Amino acid sequence: MNNEKISTVLGAVALAVLALLAACGPQQPEANLQNLTAAMNAYLAKKGDLCLGKTQWPIDVPQREAGTRSRNAVQMPVLEHVGLVSASAAKVQDAKESQQPTEIAVTRYALTEEGKKYFHARETQGDFCAAHLTLDKVVGWEARKDEKDASAVVVTYTYKIDAAPWTGDADVQKAFPMMDRVVRGAGTMQLKQNFKRTQTGWVPEGV
């Protein structure tokens, strides 16, 4: 066998080995019901809390805002009504640009022992949470319109919810309408979540 034939044979063997290695390597996960259901379950296990955006406690509401429609002026008395916070009078320095700090009166709201049960501490920033969502079912998915291939999808899903008892209070529902909408929408409301395909599976985006 001459050198040219040997080279050709070796080249064919090398290509066969590379094809075999590629076949044995990690496979890209498909966008199917099983894979995306697993991805949704993992996502909601970590990020399924329905929180109210109250990350820093205690919360001070200036007395000049009493009776206004500012968010905390409306919501904090309601949380006090259901026993989740307690109110006390305090004074704080109100520093404004180009002005000397002045002392103003505030109503200070602190979490009660019951309220502390709903504050979820996290590595970055905690939050006061009303419920936890789990997956009901994946309704469907579609490729992201801003992606050129199928490496990113938008999953549409319905959810189950484990809501705190106080979310059923009429005053709470009125003060937190978006929370109430999500709680009432369990099993019927459709939410969406973006996922990106990686070698190890589908991972959430925008989290």
- The model's pLDDT over 96-123, given as tens digits with 9 standing for 90+, comes to 655 677 889 999 999 999 999 999 998 7
Any alpha helices (H) in the chain, and if so which ranges?
A: 3-24, 33-47, 71-81, 113-116, 170-175, 177-184
Q: Residue 149: what pLDDT?
A: 63
Measure the CA–CA gap between 157 and 141, rounded to whole angstroms. Answer: 9
Rounded to two decimals, what is the model's pTM?
0.80
CA separation for the pair 110, 108 (Å, rounded): 7
Tokens of residue 190, six digits = 């459709």
Cβ–Cβ under 8 Å, residues 158 and 146 = no
Q: pLDDT (tens digit, 9 = 90+) per residue, 121-164? A: 987 889 999 999 999 999 999 988 776 666 899 999 999 999 99
Per-residue pLDDT at 87 exceeds 80: yes
Q: Is 179 helix (H, G, I), strand (E, B) or coil?
A: helix
Q: Which two tokens stand for residue 178?
A: 């978006």
